[in-house]
């Protein structure tokens, strides 16, 4: 089945106020920048953003923060974004800090039908507050709940016409995991190639998971 290619502004229009967005990227590397720009330009807010970090002001996810569109961010790091810290302290944006390895597994759990993850990470720290502790064979684990999104916004090196995705280098990060964990998956590939160009062995995200591709940059 062929994919429908959307213009960035058409993709942004799919996203309603208050949506939960899973956004790939690590400090902007592997983030879907054209999609982010279109969402920032449209200005529909109240969003919950689930991502590794809030990037920097004026860059990647930082643009959504700057525009005041993020009501809540579930991230592992905001240290390089003073604007995110300022908004958190001023009470303008809620921040849930999650250890990076726990964050990716919570998203994975949401995507693969698991009821949660048991991890020792966070035991004996502030992260454990309010969470159920389960002891297995003498070791304590936190029960960390799954995360799902209304939309996953994915950056990929290339897609083919059926939506199979291949990633590159450190731009993989959260992208292939998030592609499983949202009701609607929009991928922004750098190249869109005929079917067959991506070897089946190189496909990290099968096209059946992808709802829309962003059309090529003009």
Partner 1 sequence: MDVKEIIARRVAQEVREGMLVNLGIGLPSMVASFVPDDMHVFFQAENGVIGLGSRPPEGMEDRDLTDAGGGFVTAVPGAASIDSAMSFGLIRGGHLDMTVLGGLQVDEKGYLANWMVPGKMVPGMGGAMDLVTGAKRVIVAMVHTQKGKSKIVPECTLPLTADRRVSLIVTEMAVIEPTDDGLVLRERGPGVSVEDVQGATEAALVVHGEVPEMALG
CB of 6 to partner 1, least distance (A): 23
Does residue 148 interact with partner 1 by CB under 8 A? no
Cα distances (Å, whole numbers) of residue 95 to 24, 84, 160, 199 = 17, 9, 36, 40
Binding test (CB under 8 A) with partner 1, winner from 21, 39, 147, 177: 177
118 scored as a contact of partner 1 (CB under 8 A): no
Q: Which is nearer to partner 1, 1 or 169 (CB)?
A: 169
Cα-to-chain-centroid distance, residue 202:
21
CB atoms within 10 A of CB 144: 22
Least spacing, CB of residue 205 vs partner 1, in Å: 10
What does the buried/exposed string (b/e) look like for 57-77 if buried means 16 or more CB atoms within 10 Å of the residue's CB? Answer: eebbbbbbbbeebbebbbbbb
217 DSSP assignment: P
By CB under 8 A, residue 184 contacts partner 1 = no
Asked if 158 interacts with partner 1 (CB under 8 A), we say no
CA dist., res. 18 & res. 136, Å (int):
38
Q: Answer yes or no: are the C-beta atoms of 167 and 201 closer than 8 Å.
A: no
Q: Which is nearer to partner 1, 15 or 176 (CB)?
A: 176
Q: Does 47 bind partner 1 (CB under 8 A)?
A: no
Query: 36 by DSSP, 3-state: which?
Result: helix
Number of chain positions touching partner 1 (CB under 8 A): 45
Quickly count: other Cβ atoms within 10 Å of residue 218's Cβ: 4
Q: Which of residues 56-95 bind partner 1 (CB under 8 A)?
A: 75-80, 85, 88
When asked if residue 187 is in the footprint of partner 1 (CB under 8 A), the reply is no
Which of 39, 48, 53, 181 is in the footprint of partner 1 by CB under 8 A? 53
Nearer to partner 1, 46 or 101 (CB): 101
**Could you tell me which stretch among 14-22, 117-125, 191-199, 206-214 binds partner 1 (CB under 8 A)?**
117-125
Please state the φ and ψ torsions of residue 20, each to the nearest 5 degrees.
-100, 120
Residues that bind partner 1 (CB under 8 A): 26-30, 52-53, 75-80, 85, 88, 97, 99-102, 104-105, 108, 119-127, 157, 167-177, 204
């Amino acid at each position: 089945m062929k994919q429908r290619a959307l213009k960035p502004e058409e993709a942004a229009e799919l996203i309603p106020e208050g949506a939960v967005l899973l956004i790939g990227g690590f400090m902007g590397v592997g983030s879907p920048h054209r999609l982010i720009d279109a969402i920032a330009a449209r200005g529909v807010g109240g969003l919950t953003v689930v991502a590794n970090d809030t990037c920097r002001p004026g860059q990647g996810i930082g643009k959504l923060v700057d525009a005041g569109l993020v009501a809540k961010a579930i991230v592992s790091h905001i240290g390089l974004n003073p604007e995110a810290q300022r908004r958190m302290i001023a009470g303008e944006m809620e921040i849930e800090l999650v250890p990076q390895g726990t964050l990716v597994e919570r998203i994975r759990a949401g995507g693969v039908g698991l009821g949660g993850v048991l991890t020792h990470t966070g035991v004996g720290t502030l992260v454990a507050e309010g969470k159920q502790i389960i002891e297995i064979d003498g070791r304590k684990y936190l029960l960390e709940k799954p995360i799902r999104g209304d939309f996953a916004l994915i950056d990929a090196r290339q897609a083919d016409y059926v939506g199979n995705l291949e990633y590159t280098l450190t731009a993989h990060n959260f992208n292939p995991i998030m592609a499983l964990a949202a009701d609607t998956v929009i991928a922004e590939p750098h190249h869109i190639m005929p079917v067959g160009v991506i070897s089946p062995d190189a496909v990290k995200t099968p096209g059946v998971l992808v709802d829309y591709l962003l059309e090529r940059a003009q």
